[in-house]
Structure formats: C-alpha cells, structure tokens
C-alpha cells in the first residue's frame, strides 16, 4: 500500500507538470490504482469548489458525467488511433490536470468577492474564464499527446468535450 501511495505522489508531480504544459501522459506510471485515487481526489476538490452551489448528489453526478464523457472520448479516439493501451494513462492525465487546476482554483475563488445569481463580479468572471481557458488548454495538450494529433484537432476535441459536458449538465441538472 505504501508503494502505491508513493506512486500516486509521483503522479501528482506529473499532473502538475502537465497542467503547466511541461509533460505528457506517457510520463505517468501505468497503474489503475493511481487513476482511482486521482478520480477520488478530484471528487473531493469538486465537492469543496461547488459545495455552496449544488448538493452533494448533484456534484457527484456532475463528476460522473464528466468521467463518462472523458472515458468515451478517450476510448474511441485511442481505439481509432490503434493505441488502446494508453487509456489508463490518458484518463489519469485528464483527471490529474483537472485535479491540479481545481486545487489551484479553491483559494482563488475564496479570495474573490461573493457573487449572486443576478450579479457576478467582473473580477470573478475574468478569473473564471482564465481558469476555463487554462483547463481547456491543458486537456487539449493531453489529447494532443495521447492521441498523437495536431494542436488544432486536439483543441477542437477539447472544446467539443466541454460543450457536450455543459449541454448534458444543463439538460440533467
């Protein structure tokens, strides 16, 4: 168990490097345990970030929907590219960069002025957009390196993933 925890800590360092555009999913250790821990940690970060806005069940459903979409995109693209062996590392990388960005977002959003449904502070809006663009760029980089496609195609997939995710959330939640 100690070995697996150390392995996950190594993964955390790689997730940070990927979020800073310095690494790729290929550098991650291949182990389903790290994917499970990363997904669990991402769920905790989502609960902290969204606790004031949604119920626990709603947040868990949101993470499940995101996981399903990222799994389907990765599964189909990796099979299409004839690289299905990269699935665990790709999913680990996707949730890892989301984990890092979410973790960085917590103190940022706590420091921002409170917003209501009727009025969002311009600073909050700008910070939210900056985090969204960072997240999409990091996801795009993971797609680019995992699928071995060009930047434009990876960006297109990342934006379409985001749009599908948001439309599903609007419909279901």
Please report which confidence band the pLDDT of residue 3 belongs to, taking 50, 70 and 90 as the band edges.
confident
Please report which confidence band the pLDDT of residue 4 belongs to, taking 50, 70 and 90 as the band edges.
confident
- Give 163's DSSP letter: H
Domain ranges of the chain: 2-172
Lowest mean pLDDT among 10-14, 20-24, 34-38, 52-56: 52-56
Please report which confidence band the pLDDT of residue 154 belongs to, taking 50, 70 and 90 as the band edges.
very high
Written as six digits, the tokens of 94 are 């996707």
Q: What is the pTM of this model?
A: 0.92
Using CA atoms, how far apart are residues 38 and 66, in angstroms rounded to an integer? 14
């Amino acid at each position: 168990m100690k070995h697996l925890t150390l392995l996950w800590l190594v993964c955390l360092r790689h997730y940070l490097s990927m979020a800073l555009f310095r690494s790729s999913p290929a550098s991650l250790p291949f182990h389903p345990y790290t994917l499970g821990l990363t997904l669990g940690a991402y769920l905790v970060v989502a609960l902290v970030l969204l606790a004031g806005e949604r119920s626990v069940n709603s947040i868990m459903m949101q993470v499940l929907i995101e996981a399903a979409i990222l799994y389907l995109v990765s599964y189909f693209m990796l099979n299409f590219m004839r690289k299905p062996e990269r699935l665990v590392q790709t999913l680990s990388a996707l949730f890892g960069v989301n984990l890092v960005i979410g973790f960085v977002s917590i103190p940022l959003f706590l420091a921002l002025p409170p917003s209501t449904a009727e009025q969002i502070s311009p600073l909050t809006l700008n910070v939210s957009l900056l985090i969204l663009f960072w997240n999409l760029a990091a996801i795009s980089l993971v797609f680019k390196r995992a699928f071995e496609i060009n930047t434009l195609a990876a960006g297109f997939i990342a934006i379409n993933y985001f749009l599908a995710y948001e439309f599903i959330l609007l419909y279901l939640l």
